[in-house]
Amino acid sequence: MVNVVLYGKKPGSDMLKRSFTFVDMHKVKLKERESFVLVDKKSLDEEVKKSDVLFKIVEEYRDERGAMLR
C-alpha cells in the first residue's frame, strides 16, 4: 500500500485531499537510476514526520475555528 508520494511539482488541491503524505522530492536525499529512484530512508522519515505534525496542527486549527463559528 502506498502511504507516501514524492513530488517535484506540488500536486493540485484535489490530490492533496487524498490520504497520502506528500513530500517534496527536493527535501530528501535521492539517487536516480535508469528506471527508478532510491530514497534515503532517514531523510524520508524526517520529512514524513514534519508533514504529519503540520497536518495535525492544521486539523486542530480547523476544528477550533469551526467550533468558534458555530
Strands 37-39 and 30-32: antiparallel
**20-41: pLDDT as tens digits:** 888 999 999 999 999 999 999 9
Question: CA angle at residue 40 from 8 to 1, to 5 degrees?
Answer: 75
Identify whether the C-beta of residue 22 lies closer than 8 Å to the C-beta of residue 11: yes
What global pTM score does this model have? 0.66
Identify whether the C-beta of residue 19 lies closer than 8 Å to the C-beta of residue 55: no
For residue 13, pLDDT beyond 90: no
Looking up cell 477550533 gives 64
CA atoms within 13 A of residue 48's CA, in its CB half-sphere: 13
Residue 19 banded pLDDT, cuts 50, 70, 90: confident
Number of domains present in the structure of the chain: 1
User: What domain range includes position 39?
Assistant: 4-69
